[in-house]
Amino acid sequence: MRQSSLFSTTRREAPRDETSRNAQLLIRAGFVHKELAGVYSFLPLGWRVLRNIMQIIREEMDAIGGQEVHLSALQSRSLWEQTDRWSDEEVDIWFKTSLNAGGEAGLAPTHEEPITAIMREHISSYRDLPQLPYQIQLKFRNELRARSGLMRGREFYMKDMYTFARTQQEHEELYERVKRAYFTIFQRIGIGDRTYLTFASGGIFSQYSHEFQTVAEVGEDTIYLDREKGIAVNKEVFTDAVLADLGLERERLEEVRAVEVGNIFSLGTRFSEALQCTFRDQDGTLKYPVMGCYGIGPNRLMGLVAELFSDDRGLVWPSSIAPFAVHLISLSTEASVQETAATIYRDLQSHGIEVLWDDRTEASVGEKLADADLIGIPVQIRVGPKSLAERRAEIVQRKGGTPQYVPIGELIPAVEALV
């Protein structure tokens, strides 16, 4: 991608109506466009980051046997009435609309009902189980407050997986499989060292549910963390009885703010019974699949990374989700500099290294360097008259470190070692 062709532009000032740091940075750097509170459009750079996050999630869900589906966002009233979750008294975040042909429809805030109704048509025997369908799809929630940028939205992407098991034991095995995969996802994205399994309320289905909480000052949740054991307890279930059950000592716990980046729940047979989803077991009896649900929000992860990995100059993307691996910057409009930069650009592409080339001729050197720091691509290659005279280019890592001056002919291996 040539930056001269990139239709999004950077801004020097943050928008006045945006209070969250992640949205301020992402708007200034040209990653997202704000439509209204809690609703953002993704521009080319932002969409590349979001897709990279989704791809990591997708790979880890596929690795544990997940099968990707794509369910309808528009939902029928009658289906949700079967589980008593259509009324605003039960679920107060619905977006609903009247149909011209009569009746109502809603935009799904989650998908337990539709996936169970679909599964009802596709399983009949114990041989058809277990099943691990998942999707990465837009969700809609009519949040009262949407002031945290990408971390709490009214329209957002969600990876939601639903497991269907023959027995409680099989469900628990699937549950642990997903739990391990979640830790792998967070490690790959770059927040694994500050993300902790957190015990929260299990509702009517189990003693506990599990959240994955990332320690961050911007977090809306309060958790009590035992760093040595690597587990935490959400404030909502923080009692002496819970601590005793988990083998935690109150004096060893640290109260911290955190952002919930994932959650997993046991659902039992609540939805399979309500929607009459059954299978015939080996002994010939009809049974209800034991279900679990597992969520991760790609938008929230993107917003959180923007909060955690940024400085006073702008964004600092981890290489695993950055929009490009390399930001190539021409520091002069001289023909020799532009020609050398074009050669480097082609060489990087031919070696499978994704590169954004700042080839703009109207921008000053200062503007280019400031924009590069704001955009936050992990590795910058700077080509100017001074370095070119020595047949070298400057490699600078956005997260800091000593600049390297590398001979032009040795650039590719040097970059590959970094990315």
What average pLDDT does this structure show over 69-75? 97
- On whether the CB atoms of residues 218 and 257 are closer than 8 A, the answer is yes
pLDDT in tens, 21-69: 999 999 999 999 999 989 999 999 999 999 999 999 999 999 999 999 9
Question: C-alpha distances in angstroms, 159 versus 111, 205, 261, 341?
Answer: 11, 21, 11, 40
Reported residue count of the chain is: 419
267 closest CA partner among 132, 174, 163: 163
pLDDT in tens, 369-418: 999 999 999 999 999 998 888 899 999 999 987 899 999 999 999 999 99
**Average pLDDT of the chain to the nearest whole number:** 95
User: Domains of the chain, with CATH numbers?
Assistant: 3-73+108-311 (3.30.930.10), 326-418 (3.40.50.800)
189/400: higher pLDDT: 189
According to DSSP, residue 144 is labeled: S
**97: pLDDT strictly greater than 90:** yes
**pLDDT for res 202:** 87
**198: pLDDT strictly greater than 90:** yes
**147: pLDDT strictly greater than 80:** no
What average pLDDT does this structure show over 242-268? 97
Say what the pTM is: 0.96
Confidence band, pLDDT 50/70/90 cuts, at residue 204: confident
| The two three-digit tokens of residue 290, written as one number | 């034991």
**pLDDT for res 294:** 98
- On whether the CB atoms of residues 283 and 128 are closer than 8 A, the answer is no
**pLDDT for res 234:** 97
**203: pLDDT strictly greater than 80:** no
- On whether the CB atoms of residues 188 and 56 are closer than 8 A, the answer is yes
Range with lowest mean pLDDT among 72-81, 131-140, 148-157, 247-256: 148-157
**pLDDT for res 388:** 87
**pLDDT for res 402:** 86
pLDDT in tens, 266-325: 999 999 999 999 999 999 999 999 999 999 999 999 999 999 999 999 999 999 999 999
Question: C-alpha distances in angstroms, 174 versus 112, 116, 166, 382?
Answer: 17, 17, 11, 49
